[in-house]
Amino acid sequence: MQKKKTIIISLFSILALDNFTLPDGVIERLIKENSPGVRLVLLTAKKMEGRLLRYADGQNVIISIIDTFSPKGFVQKLFHFFYAFLIFTGSTRILATFGARADIPPAGGNRHIAPVKALIAATFGRSKFVKTKLTPWLFQKIFRKRPYKNVFDKYSPDLVVTPNLAFFPDIELVSEAKRRGVKTLGMVMNWDHLNKYYIPMHVDRLMVQNEPMRREAVGWHCYEDDQVSVVGFPQFDMYAKKEKYLLPREQFLKNFGLSHEEKIILYVSGAAYSLDEPEIIESISQWIGEGKFGKSKLMIRPYAIARDLELEQKKYARFENNHPIVFNWMRRSDNLESKKYFASMLAYSHVIISIFSTTAIEAAIFDKPTITIGFDGNHKRPYHQSIRRLEDMSHFRNVLDTGSVRVVRSFDDLGRTISAYLDNPGTDHDKRINLIDKMCHKIDGRASERIANYILGMTYG
Instruction: Quick: pLDDT tens for 62-101.
Output: 999 999 999 999 999 999 999 999 999 888 887 776 555 5
* Angle CA 346–348–353, to nearest 5: 50
Enumerate the β-bridge partners of residue 63.
42
Residue ranges making up the domain that contains 105? 73-122
**How much of the chain exceeds pLDDT 70, in percent?**
93
Whether residue 169 is preceded by a cis peptide bond, meaning omega within 30 degrees of 0, is yes
**Please, which pLDDT band fits residue 1 given cuts at 50, 70 and 90?**
very low
Mean pLDDT lowest among 1-5, 126-130, 244-248: 1-5
What pLDDT was estimated at residue 201? 97
Rg for the chain, CA atoms, rounded: 23
- The residue-averaged pLDDT of 283-301 equals 94
Q: How far is CA 203 from CA 199, 206, 221, in A?
A: 10, 6, 11
DSSP string, 191-256: TTSTTTS--SS--SEEEESSHHHHHHHHHTT---GGGEEE---GGGGGGG-HHHHSPPHHHHHHHT
Same structural domain for residues 191 and 253? no
Q: What is the count of structural domains for the chain? A: 3
What pLDDT was estimated at residue 377? 82
Same structural domain for residues 79 and 187? no
What pLDDT was estimated at residue 347? 95
Same structural domain for residues 257 and 223? no
Spacing of C-alpha 56 from chain mean position: 27
Strand 205-208 and strand 263-268: the pairing is unpaired
Same structural domain for residues 409 and 451? no
Same structural domain for residues 193 and 269? no
Number of H helices, E strands in the chain: 20, 13
Same structural domain for residues 213 and 265? no
Mean pLDDT lowest among 201-210, 307-316, 394-403: 307-316
Taking residue 343's Cβ as centre, other Cβ atoms within 10 Å add up to 22
Enumerate the β-bridge partners of residue 43.
10, 64
Residue 312 domain flag: yes
**pLDDT tens digits for range 338-383:** 888 899 999 999 999 988 888 999 999 999 999 999 888 887 877 7
**Please, which pLDDT band fits residue 332 given cuts at 50, 70 and 90?**
low
Q: What is the mean pLDDT of the chain?
A: 89
- CATH code: domain of residue 38: 3.40.50.2000
What pLDDT was estimated at residue 412? 95
**pLDDT tens digits for range 135-167:** 999 999 999 999 999 999 999 999 999 999 999
pLDDT at 386 over 80: no
CB-based contact 124:130 (threshold 8 Å): yes
Buried b (16+ CB within 10 A) or exposed e, 408-429: beebebbbebbeebbeeeeebe
Choose between 275 and 12: higher pLDDT: 12
Buried b (16+ CB within 10 A) or exposed e, 33-58: eeeeebbbbbbbbeebeebbeebeee
- Supply φ then ψ for residue 408, to 5 degrees: -95, 145
* Angle CA 281–285–286, to nearest 5: 120
What pLDDT was estimated at residue 273? 67
pLDDT at 284 over 90: yes
**How much of the chain exceeds pLDDT 90, in percent?**
68
Same structural domain for residues 345 and 398? yes
Residue 3's contacts (CB-CB under 8 Å, 6 or more residues apart) are: 37
What pLDDT was estimated at residue 93? 80
Same structural domain for residues 203 and 325? no
Choose between 264 and 111: higher pLDDT: 264
- Local structure of 30: helix, strand or coil: helix
CB-based contact 214:200 (threshold 8 Å): no
Same structural domain for residues 57 and 150? yes
